[in-house]
Amino acid sequence: MGKRIIQQRRGRGTGAYRAPSFNYQGKVVHNNLDTSGTVVDIIHCAGHSAPLIEVQYLTGNKSLAFAPEKIKVGDSIIVGGEEIKSGNVLRLKNVPEGTLVHNLELRPGDGGKLVRASGSFAKVVAKTEKAIRVKLPSNKEKLFLPECRASIGIIAGGGRLEKPLMKAGNRFHKMKARNKLYPKVCGISMNAVDHPFGGCHSTHKGRPTLSPRSAPPGRKVGKIAPRRTGRRK
């Protein structure tokens, strides 16, 4: 009798695969109102790869934002203005070409969805009245609405991955902070009841690694509906 593979067990959403979000400091979203504030603290959050700053706004509320490089406690941040300063939040129509930004909004008012990892940044390439072209960290260019907002500067924490973990225990604690599955075992090393690629010889999968988009849960492993396979000529 077979049993559920990891992909199926994770989909149930049980506590073994649920992220410990109660240990996180909170969500990072742009302030909805055009105002200004002061950085009161720089904090660490296990749910984010970059350091966060806590901003006290003139409206009385506090919110979290990604800490750009060279920011410190006591600096002022303006939301909705036109001043090009590290940490300020501007609409893309007010950002000059060539400016480095982060925490981009996909749609106006969603709080920021793109370029949120430590050390990452995007670049405003071209501007028109109807769209703003931005070059993302993946070197792809995407069009945004002029009313979408973004923070100025490069997110702090660059070079985080340059330091090796050295020990498996360090990686264990890193993965446990977000409840990631560790260690990962390849499918060909499992038994036949645990994975479609399991069983038989350790280097022989026994079936193709290409799965159609219509494959049922449990069989949808490996390369799922790939656009192309093989070497490029």
- 98-113 residue pLDDT tens: 999 999 999 999 999 9
User: Averaged over 49-66, what is the pLDDT?
Assistant: 92
Please indicate, yes or no, whether the overall pTM of this predicted structure exceeds 0.75: yes
pLDDT value at position 1?
Answer: 54
Strand order in the sheet with 62-66: 62-66, 52-57, 36-43, 76-78
Which residues sit opposite 57 in a β-bridge?
Answer: 37
Residue 118 has pLDDT above 80, yes or no: yes
171: its two tokens = 């990686």
Band (pLDDT 50/70/90 cuts) for residue 69 is: very high
Q: Quick one: pLDDT band at residue 18, thresholds 50, 70, 90?
A: confident
Give the confidence band of 181 by pLDDT, cuts at 50, 70, 90. confident
Asked if the peptide bond before residue 183 counts as cis, ω within 30 degrees of 0, the response is: yes
Label the pairing between strands 223-224 and 210-211: parallel
- Is the CB of residue 122 less than 8 Å from the CB of residue 37? no
- Positive/negative CA dihedral, 169, 170, 172, 177: positive
What mean pLDDT do residues 39-45 have?
A: 94
Which of 193, 188, 101 shows the shortest CA–CA distance to 149? 101
Q: Are 123 and 100 in contact (CB under 8 A)?
A: yes
Q: Let me know if 78 is exposed, middle or buried by CB neighbors in 10 A (0-12, 13-18, 19+).
A: middle
Q: Domains plus CATH for the chain?
A: 36-159 (2.30.30.30)
Q: What percent of the chain has pLDDT over 90?
A: 59
Model confidence at 92: pLDDT above 60: yes
